Amino acid sequence: MKKINDRKEEIRSTDDSRKKKELKLKQIYNKCLWRKKTNRAGEKSYLKSEIYVVNIVGLNLVTIPGEVFCEIGLKIKSLFTGDTFIIGYANDYVSYIPTESAFKEGGYEVETSVFAPEIGRELLTQVKNVIQN
């Protein structure tokens, strides 16, 4: 919601009609993302999806329902012995899955992600749970 309000202020403060149109488009985009990240009551909501770990004769396949940042993928690989492949966009597509440091840096992937900064840690926890069960 803060980005939406920031955009309103930017729109008000510019006289450049081209810049104003660009900012209005960004504001619409931010509203769409905000709606995607919240439920109808305006509260944060939860996504339910699936992670699978498949072992085929020493080859590990880990399915992730989105586009995971490389650093998180490498941490997941470190949980296994043998060849391990991270398969993104598997069984679902929920969003980009950025690292906590990426959330601090910002950028397209973070702005369009529907997740909180701790998603990487939660994903690692869930993969560990799948391995142990």
User: What range does the domain containing 25 cover?
Assistant: 2-37
At residue 40, the pLDDT reads: 52
Domain count, the chain: 2
Q: Based on the domain organization, do 31 and 59 belong to the same domain? A: no
Q: Are strands 96-97 and 67-68 parallel, antiparallel or unpaired?
A: parallel
Residue 32 sits in the same domain as residue 57: no
Q: Does residue 70 share a domain with residue 15?
A: no
CA gap 111, 103 in Å, rounded: 8
57 and 32 fall within a common domain: no
Both tokens of residue 30?
A: 């931010």
Q: Tell me if 90 is assigned to some domain.
A: yes
Q: pLDDT digits over 42-81, tens only?
A: 566 677 788 999 999 989 999 999 999 999 999 999 999 9
- Spell out a b/e string for 49-58, using b for 16 or more CB atoms within 10 Å of the CB, else e: eebebeeeee
Same domain (yes/no): 124, 70: yes
Pair (57, 25) in one structural domain: no
**Whether residue 60 is found in the same domain as residue 117:** yes
- Do 97 and 127 fall within a single domain? yes
Average per-residue pLDDT for the chain: 84
Residue 24 domain flag: yes
Q: What is the pTM of this model?
A: 0.70
DSSP notation for the chain: -HHHHHHHHHHHH---HHHHHHHHHHHHHHHHHHHHHB-TTSSB-------EEEEETTEEEEE-SSEE-HHHHHHHHTTSSS-EEEETT-S----EE--HHHHHH--HHHHH--S-TTHHHHHHHHHHHHHH-
Same domain, 76 and 121: yes
Same domain, 61 and 101: yes
Residue 83 pLDDT: 95
Provide the pLDDT for residue 132: 86
pLDDT of residue 27: 74
Residues 63 and 33 in one domain: no
* Residue 74 or residue 41, greater confidence: 74
- Within a domain: 104: yes
Is residue 46 domain-resident? Answer: no
pLDDT tens per residue across span 107-118: 888 877 888 889
pLDDT at 116: 84
Same domain membership, residue 124 and residue 76: yes
CA distance 109 to 96: 6
Per the model's pLDDT, the better-predicted residue between 39 and 116 turns out to be 116
Residue 20, pLDDT > 60, answer: yes
